[in-house]
Amino acid sequence: MDESQETPPRILVYELEIPIRWGDMDAMGHVNNTVYFRYMEQARISWFDDLGLVPDPGGQGPVIVNAACTFARQFEYPGTVLARQFVGELGRSSIMTYVDMLRTDDPGVVYAHGSAKVVWVDFPRQKSVPMPQAIRDLMQRSWPRG
């Protein structure tokens, strides 16, 4: 593999257990692929909530500009997803986030993994802006000390 294509280091910052609901499944009897994006969204938003980071629609806040998911195994009801939220590169106005999704009753197996690039924006202007230092500090406080 070319070094420029290697996955950057990821730092585990948050974990969330999410019950698999009967309604999350589709006609094929497994969790619908769109629901995995909801699981990732909930992990990201719960991390933001835990940090006290509340978006201000009249001011600034985080949005995602892309999201991806790789499906390795099927989730099925009943069960509980363990969403493990990671962060990667912290840029001027963005941060890469990653989520590994496992089952709490099968914690050694990643069922799916995904990513989303979060960009700090000025909502009224609909433009990216540099992430305020106070927000950067909040995010970095959740990083484990090594």
Task: Give the pLDDT confidence of 124-140 residue by residue, as tens digits.
Answer: 999 999 999 999 988 88
Q: Is the dihedral of CA 66, 71, 74, 75 positive or negative?
A: negative
The pLDDT of residue 144:
76
The pLDDT of residue 6:
60
Spans of the chain, pLDDT less than 70:
1-8, 145-146
pLDDT in tens, 94-112: 999 999 999 999 999 999 9
Q: What is the pTM of this model?
A: 0.90
The neighbour count for residue 26, using CB atoms within 10 Å, is 12
Burial annotation 3-13 (CB, 10 A radius, 16+ → b, else e): eeeeeeebeeb
The topology (CATH level 3) of 13-141 is Thiol Ester Dehydrase; Chain A (3.10.129)
The pLDDT of residue 3:
47
Amino acid at 81: V
The pLDDT of residue 40:
98
What are the boundaries of each domain within the chain? 13-141
The pLDDT of residue 54:
84
